[in-house]
Amino acid sequence: MPASQPRSRARDRNNVLNRAEFLSLNQPLKGNQESRSSSRKQSGQAGAAGAQNSNPKERRQSQQLPEEDCMQLNPSFKGIAFNSLLAIDICMSKRLGVCANRASSWGGARSMINLLGITGHGIPWIAGTLICLVKSSTLAGQEVLMNLLLALLLDIMIVAGLQKLAKRKGPYDVNPGLLDYLTMDTYAFPAGHASRVAMLSKFFLNHLVLAIPLRILLVLWALCVGFSRVMIGRHHITDVLSGFVFGYLQFRLVELIWMSSNTCQMLISIW
């Protein structure tokens, strides 16, 4: 045993790999490993910090995406109800558009339905009111006709303004007629014919003495003119119903600003 120990020591001395210049190759120093690992960690942290600082918008978008997805996947009850009613309105309006074109199921009756719609147009009513105003000789008649003319002009302006704001298209691609362009009735919401006939029927029921059959016919005429616009594909059902509501509100407005007989006589003398 004592002889073998000096021999092993001599072998270790003679081994080239045990020299000082080769020790770093066989057994790396702990200090070097720690410095390398710390430098790697610092470089990784710097890269992550740079990535976070370089793209703040992307981080915000990535944080907002889940919220947006949740909003799209979980809409509110009001949104669901509104979209459902809108889909039902469009579907029913398309089914009731039986005279939208010549190829429709009631395409042969399209000219008659258009003629019914002309009875509720603004231009014939304004022209007829002016003719009656010129021929009228009583103060009461002139007062009623002047306020009727005011109501017709207000109807055209209010409906045209609302249609410009809404800009809703009809259920079918039906081009407006010449009279529609004259009264600026080019969009669908609200229906100008429906608002006009509702206002006229309410005006006549309040200011004219009519028998019961005539009063019933007046209401039926207003309903037929309004829904004839759905049959020819110009308006949705909700457009016509909203037109009836706006027509009644216009009548109430005219009643509030009703011009007296003296005011009407002054305007007639100026004209």
222 versus 85: the higher-pLDDT residue is 222
pLDDT at 74 over 70: no
Q: For residues 145 and 136, is the Cβ–Cβ distance under 8 A?
A: yes
Question: Residues with Cβ < 8 Å from 64, sequence gap 6 or more?
Answer: none
**Residues with active-site annotation:** 193, 235
Angle (CA) 158 192 133, round 5°: 75
Q: Which of residues 172 and 162 earns the better pLDDT score?
A: 162
Distance CA 197, CA 185 (A): 14
What is the number of other CB atoms lying within 10 angstroms of the CB of residue 58?
A: 11
Q: Which two tokens stand for residue 22?
A: 């080769």
pLDDT given for residue 247 in this prediction? 95
Mean predicted lDDT score pLDDT of the chain: 78
More confident residue, 62 or 108: 108
pLDDT tens figures, 119-140? 998 889 999 999 999 888 889 8
pLDDT tops 50 at residue 29:
no
Copy the structure tokens of residue 57: 């918008």
pLDDT band at 150 (very low <50, low <70, confident <90, very high): very high
Q: How far apart are CA 250 and CA 192, in angstroms?
A: 12
More confident: 164 or 65: 164
Where are the chain's structural domains?
107-270
| 217-256 tens-digit pLDDT | 999 999 999 999 999 888 999 999 999 999 999 999 999 9
Start-to-end C-alpha separation, the chain: 142
With 80 as the cut, is the pLDDT of residue 179 above it?
A: no
The rounded distance, in Å, linking the Cα atoms of 57 and 59 is 5
Which positions ≥6 away from 218 have C-beta within 8 Å? 201, 204, 205, 210
Model pLDDT, residue 108? 82
